[in-house]
Structure 1
């Protein structure tokens, strides 16, 4: 499957599998996110409570469309802060940019392409003037780490994504929605070209591997006008010190 193509027959198959394969790089953050959390920090999850009660989140994020990016850092030693993962705000939500999770797969792809055309080549200098600060680390002994917009992690969103329609409370099958969460947060159902192309990304955000014992990646955030407008992640073999200035952390990586 090409980077911009969803099979015309996909609508007859599994919508979630098709969207995981497309793995949109542009992500919606609503003005009033569930539980006040804009981006959930989670490992592999099968229960909704895990997303808020047992794990952390990033709040006070600027509503709108955010772009997910992943790249290797030139010259970095493998395993020593060698990968840059970033989520950054790019556009306000309006009639043109709002995303209805129940639209057809072809319409979803067209929405994604609209943002690719506008923002894929506009990364240079986007963070000039932004002050990054260390925002903690995240530990999950499953060796997985996800930063996913909570807009994608509700039962209502699950119904729209999986079936293209809304669902009343009486229609919700907890086991089915648990499978939705697992597929998004585990992100291992892809193979071949999709697996390679989507490495580091998942539906609604980013997917970041930890080491074999779940060594925590570091988080940094940038704020503008009192709101978080960007999130970056990195990992280092050494333990990250919460009390150390961000640009003095092990690896001395400054994004």
Structure 2
């Protein structure tokens, strides 16, 4: 299905995990296609520049051209991207409308989450609107509903509650666990001023916060190790594939 204005009603229990560099490359390809179509399809250099820019990105990255090449080599066999032949400069385009069966607004929402990570509804509406107009929060929620049903987006707290963070559905399970823990800590900190210091609850709250912070630190270390192992494995698979003439 190639119509960008249509969305499939298919459901999926989960989506394959995307490495951080893969999220960034796919995100900037969609972003540039929508905001600066004159540079799309994209060259390796423009993808590197877009991936490493300081605005509208979280986390900040410092990918090399080789990193971009390796990422594209991992994405292409899975159908995410296509190389465009014929020009003096190698260029690439994404296949996400066909691969995911999403419409323009839905893809803009997922792209914004790929580029900047967890956000509130208000932040997401404002930021995604630079790619596709989203009139108000009701329009955003109408688009989020099918995305959540198909696991493209995840709510890190109670859905519909003011300030609840939303993220994309391409995290590793450990990463989701870390994000939910971090969201719980932020919720607790937001509620902390309402706790009476004379009630004995403050000491318990501080203990819970310390425990949560330690848990987040441990999960971040684990996620970094997972990402490094995944990247190394992909590189080794590519080397093996090249040696076999594939």
| TM-score bracket for this pair, using the shorter chain length | under 0.3
By relative contact order (CA 8 Å, sep 6+), the higher-ranking structure is 1
Question: Which structure has the larger Rg over C-alpha atoms?
Answer: 2
Compare the two structures and name the one with the higher strand fraction: 1
TM-score, normalization by structure 2: 0.24
